[in-house]
Amino acid sequence: EGVSEMTLRVNGTARTLRAEPRVTLLDALRENLNLTGSKKGCDHGQCGACTVLVDGRRINSCLTLAVMNQGKEITTIEGLAKGEELHPMQAAFVKHDGFQCGYCTPGQIMSGVACVKEGHATTDAQTREWMSGNLCRCGAYPNITAAVREVAS
């Protein structure tokens, strides 16, 4: 299978890479662009560890081909902080201990950002429902929800 060149706009910067057309966005981010903040939990759309924003909407980056996302604005966990200043959702996760082992955290935070921005965080129950695709093996859900609640309020 041939390798082709593609350009992805990630965290405000155009990045050109060479990969097979079948490479997922997650693999392109992690392996071609060395943005390893997005995690590979299941690689099948079932854990949410790979969540990124594409044109402001969250997606599981393991379920979409990199090549399909050319021309779109991709935001990963690496793109949230402004220099040393954490994004409010990152700061809220720190404040509320929204992680234990931390593996799911980048995906939780990206999903939380979209949850608030799209208005799905009006109640804790609604937040939990909307973020139910983001699994946490440590069971930190109450703290994750508390972090999202703080940013939403």
Q: Which residues bind ligand FES (CB under 6 A)?
A: 40-43, 45-50, 60, 62
Nearer to ligand FES, 60 or 76 (CB): 60
Residue nearest to ligand FES (CB): 62
Nearer to ligand FES, 102 or 119 (CB): 102
Shortest Å, Cβ 16 to ligand FES? 24
- Three-state SS across 13-36? EEEEEEECCCCEHHHHHHHHCCCC
Shortest Å, Cβ 63 to ligand FES? 6
Best CA proximity match to 76, nearest among 63, 101, 58, 99: 58
Shortest Å, Cβ 48 to ligand FES? 5
Nearer to ligand FES, 48 or 112 (CB): 48
- Rounded to whole angstroms, the Cα distance separating 113 from 49 reads 14
Q: In angstroms, how far apart are the furthest CA atoms of the chain?
A: 50
Are the C-beta atoms of 108 and 80 separated by less than 8 Å? no
Are the C-beta atoms of 50 and 61 separated by less than 8 Å? yes
Q: What one-letter code names the amino acid at 39?
A: K
Count CB atoms within 10 A of the CB of residue 33.
21
Nearer to ligand FES, 49 or 151 (CB): 49
Shortest Å, Cβ 38 to ligand FES? 8
For tokens 């090549």, the residue is: 67
Shortest Å, Cβ 49 to ligand FES? 5
Nearer to ligand FES, 42 or 65 (CB): 42
